[in-house]
Structures are given as C-alpha cells and as structure tokens.
Structure 1
Amino acid sequence: MAAKVVKSQHLRDIEPLFREVPDGIPDPAVELRACLLGELALIGSGAGRRSLEAYAEKLRGLGHPLARLPGARLDIEHRFAVRVRGLGSVKSAKQLRSRFPEAPSTDGGAVAGCGAGDARDDGRANAAARPFTAGGWAREPEARFFTLPSPLGPDDFGISFIKELPLRCLAGEGSRRGSTLACVTTPDDVLDELFSASYVGGVNGHGQGGAYARLYAWESFCALMGLPTDVPLLEAVRHAADYRWLRFMAFTDWFHHDTSDLAFAVLDPTRTRVAVLAATDTDVHRDALG
C-alpha cells in the first residue's frame, strides 16, 4: 500500500500524514507511515522535510525495525529496483563469465576446503536467507558458515575450495553436463540480488514492498559478513570492502538454470571464516524431472 501511495501521490499530499508523531509501534497507521518513509527514501524524496524527519526519529526511539534504514538511498544501493536491459538473471556459465571475472581453481583451495569446519548458527542463517523466504522462493535457501584452521591462501578462494565444502546445493556435482564455476563479484552486486529476491519475489511467491525488501537485504548482507544486527549501515559498507565475494554455479539438482538460481560465497578479512548462501526458485516437485 505504501508503495502505491508514493507512486500515485505528490509529496505535498503525503506530508500531512506525519504531523503527529507515533506513541507506539503496534498500530497499522504507524506501520503504514514507516513503510512510506522507506519508500520515499528509495526514490530520493522527503529529505529535509521536518515532519518526516521528526517521525523517523521517533520511530528510531521506539525501536521500529525500518528505522535503522537511512532516509536516503546509499551509493551501494544504486541498482535497487533499477531494470537494465540485458542484465537479467544469470542462468548459464557463459553469462556468468561474460559479466564477472572467473576465480581460478587451485590445489591449495581444494586442500583448504577439505579442512573447513562447520560453524552452525541458526539465527545468522535465518537472517541470511530472509530475502528468499520473505519473497516466497520455491526452496528453502542454504545458508552455511565455515571456519578454517589457518588463513586461506590469497589466490585459493575459488571453485576448487567451494567444491570441497559439504553443501547441499553441490550434491551430485559432476552428474550433469557442465562444470562448477566461480566468479569474483562485488558487494553492491550481492546486495542488489538480495534486495531483488525479496522485492520481486518468487515465481509462485510474492514480492515485498521496497521498505522491507531493503531491510531484509541489509540483514542478509550483514549476516553474511557476521556483523552485529545493529551495525550502522555505512559501517557495514566500510567493512564490506575488506571481504572477498564470489558468485558460483554448478550443474546439479539444485541449479536448474531455468528460473532463478543464486549462490554466493564470502570470505572474511582474516581469511579464516567463510559464509555460503544458495537459493533456487525452481519448484522442488520438478527435481525428479532432471
């Protein structure tokens, strides 16, 4: 509803809704206004309006989840809800290689992958997967975390490392025609995909409004880096530059290459902690079709 209001009404008509600040969160009217602020931030409107800023400040004091989002789009969010011809879902190895530099395989990466230890964290996993679960993607995402006994070699974070991790998304690797592939990507690419997963929604799911899609994207992004849930977002952006980010794909029962498949791996600055997030929007009932 908030998205529709922002698209159809002038700011001068929306602004009177914020004349009275909220006195509590459990109120549909307060929730609508919080979402309106989120939608206005994404289109770069409302900055400098005293009534809107006062309302946002009150929401922060009340602890509303949307209140942690900045009142204007950050530079790293430049692709949110922006459609670019020719930049749809990556469905093939050829598309992946054409858009991102490939991370070469190394023997050291394979050895390190074999020695990775599972670091289960259900809360962190749920936060990382939230854009996909909120958007109604067909299968439950796989969010996994691993620790290494010693720092990964500078050139060893590639597909040979990922293939040795006990990932469900790679089960049966080599049973289908095609080879696994990993490419180097950037924080803004990952954040944009997380936003789109929730904002657009799954084929049989439902998209979220921009305000909550933005929130879920940031929660997932921070979870992948292992940052505190309340970290300021500009601080998260600064940290993201020190991490290494990969996209990867394979030819398994998980990766169908027909709707939407996504898989990321993230290496922390110490090179001893790795997060993996994989999601597919292919209906699980079609798995038997191959």
Structure 2
Amino acid sequence: MDDNQATPGDAASRRPLGDLSGTAELKLLAGSRPAELYEAAERLCREASDDGSAASAAAVRTIGRVADVLAETRSRDCARFAVDLVGRLLPTGPVGRQEGDRLRRSVAAKLAKAQQLRYLAPLFEEPPDDAEDPSADVRACLLGELALIGAGRGRPDLDAYAERLRELGHPLAVLPRARLDVEHRFTVRVRGLGSVKTPDQLRSRFPEISPTDSGAAAGHTAGQTPDGTRARAAAEPFTAGGWAREPEVRFFTLSRPLDPDDFNISFVKELPLDCMVGEGTHRGGAVACRTTPDDVLGTLFAAAYDGGVNGRPQGGAYARLYAWNSLYALLGLPADVPFPEAVGRALDHRWLRFMAFTDWFHHDTADEAFAVLDPTRTRVTVLAATDTDTDG
C-alpha cells in the first residue's frame, strides 16, 4: 500500500481527541491505529493543567473514554496503552486524583473481560516498588478482576507481582487469588431477582421467622456497645458505592443467651434503631426472614460493585475487598483470620434479612437490612442501608 494512501482512521487520528463525536471513532482508531490514539491521549495528558476547570475535567473524561476503548480492543498494544494511560499518564491535579481511582478500576474490569491472558501477562513483568503508585494499583485491580473470573493464578509473572504487592501492603493483596465458593453470587445477575421491595418478595426468597413475645422482651433489654471503627468497616460497601444515606450500624449485647427462635422481627423492633423509628405507623408490617452468609456477602459486594443510584461503581476487585471488610466487621473478626476460617465462623452465626415500613425505608430504590447473632447468642450486629435520598 502507498504510504500516502488513506487508511481507515486517518482523518480521525489527526483531529483533537475532544472533537471525536463518540466511541465509534475511538473504536475505529483503537482497532486500526492504536499507537496514534495513545499518542493523542498522551498529548492531551501533558496539556491538561487539571486545575479544576471545566476544560481540565473534560480532558480527563476524554482520556478515560480512550483508556476504556483501548482496554476493550483485544490486542497486546491496546492493553498496554490502556494501563499506561490510567496508571502513569493521568493528570495528577485535583480532577485527575478524583477520577483516577474510578478510571483505574473501570479499565481493569474491561481488560479482564475483553483481553486474552497472553496479552495481559507482559503487564506484570516488572514488579512494583510502591503500593501507592497508580501504576501498581491498576495492576492490582486487574489481578483482582482476574481472580473473580478464575484466571491468572499459576502464571509466574502474575504470581510474583501479586506476592510483591502483598509484601508492600497493598490492600487488595490480602484477597484470595482464586474465587471462593461463598463468592458465587459475585457479578452474577439473575433475571427477576433484583432488589427486594415488598414483604411478599422477601418471603418468596427466604424463610420467614415468626414473631414471639419472648423475642420482644429480649430486644427490649439489649444494651448497645458502640464501636466506630468496626461500624465504618461494616458500612464500607455502601459508603464507597455512594449510597444516598449513611448506613446505620449498631452493636448490641444481651444479658443472657437468646433462644434462636426469638431472633426474629419482634426482637429487632425493640432495638433502638433509627431505621425502625415509626414502625407500626405506616401501612405495611415489618418482617424478618432467615438468610445465609453467601447472600449477605453477595449483597455487600453488589452495593459497592454497582454503586448507589447516583453511583460510584467500585469495580470487582475493590467491591470484593469492601464486602469482605464488611463481613469481618459484622462477625467481629480481626483482619488476620484466614478467609476459609471466616467462612466457617460465619456459618456458626444466625443471619436475618428484615424489612419495615418507616421513614428510613422507602421501597423505591434499594433498601438492605441485616441482623447477625453470634454463636454465644449474646451479641447482635445490625446493618441497615437505603439508597433513597430523603432530602431529594
């Protein structure tokens, strides 16, 4: 072919990235001339002052679009260019820092889904020196995304990189390199199984526990044991995901072991919970159903993975971390307890999903509420979250 002959993408590649009308042109360039697309994005990175102005914010958004398209275009060069853009070249000013985490997590998820492992392996040839380096973080996210789809383990470069991240103390490095059985709900969408919004939906999915007078009496005497650090960890999937309201997390102690049959909605209604204020004054009755650790863990993962209605989706790797942090907090476990042991201990607890009709719960976007009874039957944790903005 004559070097002067026009090829697909020539006209677009000479235009400023901001002038490209949509992903179609970006995809054309990524597929035919990825180096030119990368060079254009690199120039835009250098030019972006990132001083908080609308122009700088627009530049960062454009760079993110380019990185996403490169990540989804199957080739070794495209994978490398995408990681380089969000891991090394993204502007470091206020806008770049604000968007950086989101872009790295988005790109990592797209790479794991679209690229062949042989195209990704070269990204891990050089071990990291700093766990806080954005370049290391995007690769840590990628390792986490690969773990969720059962890929990457047993590859020497990837294993060495993961071990180095662990030595450096990267937060994602504590997670298992393979997906655990209890994580089977992660990223899985089942048609017809969206948010539970009505008592009938809750009862159709989980076995209801009947209320008891003795449960109410036990709840009335429960004492609170505040723990801010543990509460923040339990709420992490919802706060990271940008849910509309701060979750409620409470810890209670009982003077005597609770009969398992009394761990029911009567017990929950007597606890001093913000989410239950006004219960009985609205149309609709409160209900509690028994659930399992994998259901709770999957819900925690989805809260961060999907993000709130005004959304800050966290990507699979960090959503997984936040879900486990929350589960450990609900169980009251120290961080050094191995994951398989944590699963075993979770099975020794009793788990409730509950629902009420109060000013807290609105049943129009997403509401989640859990109560956990420990094996001694003397300690209870409650976590309630709503994605309804009552100030809106």
Q: Please classify the TM superposition score into its range, dividing by the shorter chain length.
A: over 0.9
Distance 2:231 2:390 in 1: 21
AA at the equivalent of 1:89: S
What's 1:94 paired with?
Answer: 200
Deviation at 1:62, TM superposition (A): 1.3
Distance 1:283 1:8 in 2: 36
Contact 2:132 2:170 in 1 (8 A): no
- 3-state DSSP class of the match of 2:289? strand
CA distances 1:60-95 after superposition (whole Å, capped 9, x unpaired): 111111011111110000010111011111000000
From 165, 176, 183, the counterpart of 2:271: 165
From 380, 383, 388, the counterpart of 1:274: 380
From 327, 334, 339, the counterpart of 1:221: 327
Equivalenced residues, count = 286
What's 2:365 paired with?
Answer: 259
What's 1:111 paired with?
Answer: 217
What's 1:134 paired with?
Answer: 240
Alignment of 1:189 onto 2:295: yes
Distance 2:325 2:340 in 1: 13
Distance 1:26 1:80 in 2: 26
Alignment of 1:233 onto 2:339: yes
Alignment of 1:49 onto 2:155: yes
Contact 2:234 2:325 in 1 (8 A): yes
Distance 1:232 1:63 in 2: 16
From 145, 164, 172, the counterpart of 1:39: 145
RMSD: 0.8
TM-score by length of 2: 0.72
CA distances 1:208-256 after superposition (whole Å, capped 9, x unpaired): 1100000000000110010012321111101111000000000001111
What's 1:210 paired with?
Answer: 316
Alignment of 1:144 onto 2:144: no
Contact 1:111 1:161 in 2 (8 A): yes
AA at the equivalent of 2:165: L
CA distances 1:111-163 after superposition (whole Å, capped 9, x unpaired): 11011000000000000000000000000000110000110012110000000
Distance 2:364 2:314 in 1: 23
Distance 1:81 1:90 in 2: 18
Deviation at 1:105, TM superposition (A): 0.8
- Which one is further off, 92-101 or 228-237? 228-237
Contact 1:68 1:232 in 2 (8 A): no
Distance 2:237 2:324 in 1: 9
What's 2:87 paired with?
Answer: none
Distance 2:285 2:216 in 1: 15
Distance 1:265 1:228 in 2: 20
Contact 1:44 1:72 in 2 (8 A): yes
AA at the equivalent of 2:143: L
Distance 2:311 2:229 in 1: 23
Deviation at 1:26, TM superposition (A): 2.0
Contact 1:102 1:182 in 2 (8 A): yes
CA distances 1:160-215 after superposition (whole Å, capped 9, x unpaired): 00000000000011111111100000000000000000000111121111000000
What's 1:199 paired with?
Answer: 305
- 3-state DSSP class of the match of 1:155? helix
Name the % identity: 71
Following superposition of structure 1 onto structure 2, how do residues 62-77 of structure 1 map, counting pairs within 5 Å? Answer: 62-77=168-183
Alignment of 1:79 onto 2:185: yes
Contact 1:245 1:266 in 2 (8 A): yes
AA at the equivalent of 1:139: R
Deviation at 1:284, TM superposition (A): 1.8
Alignment of 1:244 onto 2:359: no
AA at the equivalent of 1:70: P
Deviation at 1:56, TM superposition (A): 0.9
AA at the equivalent of 2:151: S
- 3-state DSSP class of the match of 1:285? coil
Answer 1 or 2: higher relative contact order, Cα 8 Å, separation at least 6: 1
Greater Cα radius of gyration, structure 1 or 2: 2
